[in-house]
Amino acid sequence: MTGRSHRHVSTPSSTPGLQLVSGHNPRVLILGSFPSQRSLASDEYYGNPQNHFWKVMETLFSIDHQLPYPLRCSLLTGYGIALWDVVAACHRPGSADSRIREPVFNDLAGYLASHPSLRLVALNGAAAGSYFLKSRALPALPSVILPSTSPANARSTLPEKIRQWEIIRSVCCGDD
């Protein structure tokens, strides 16, 4: 379920991010910017219970957000979804994306090239979109910046986020 071969090594004083979560033939790669302190501590993508990511996935794919994390990831990859971050390691006090310094990017171009099954890169928020452009891993497939599921994004309600994130279900379930 994880792809350790696609991870950049952090510098000695930087904080490393989380490992790639991916199945064999992903259709959608969801990229965040860099995990929150809470996610890093729990070693789980979107590990802050205030983050709407798993509630969005529950609505779109009926994956109960309270299931154990490994099971949620397994079910998600079963739908053809991979999870990763644009930034592999960085210096960042706290959890704010605006405080990311000296980012080291994941090998997104390598991952995209080795997974021709991908149909969409979904960026979880504007910061992920900005770092994605800086990473220069621009794919020859569509990418979309979706509203951040972070608790810091108070501009969009959970129902609004779900409505915009439905593109993920369309691509994974062939509704496109």
Supply the residues annotated as catalytic.
51
By CB neighbour count within 10 A (0-12 exposed, 13-18 middle, 19+ buried), where does 174 fall? Answer: exposed
Give the separation between CA 73 and CA 21, rounded to whole angstroms: 7
Strands 28-32 and 81-85: parallel
Going along the chain, which residue ranges are E strands?
A: 15-16, 28-32, 81-85, 87-91, 101-105, 120-124, 143-146
CB of 24 closer than 8 Å to CB of 114: no
DSSP-assigned beta bridge partners for residue 106: none
Judged by DSSP in three states, 89 sits in strand
CB of 83 closer than 8 Å to CB of 73: yes
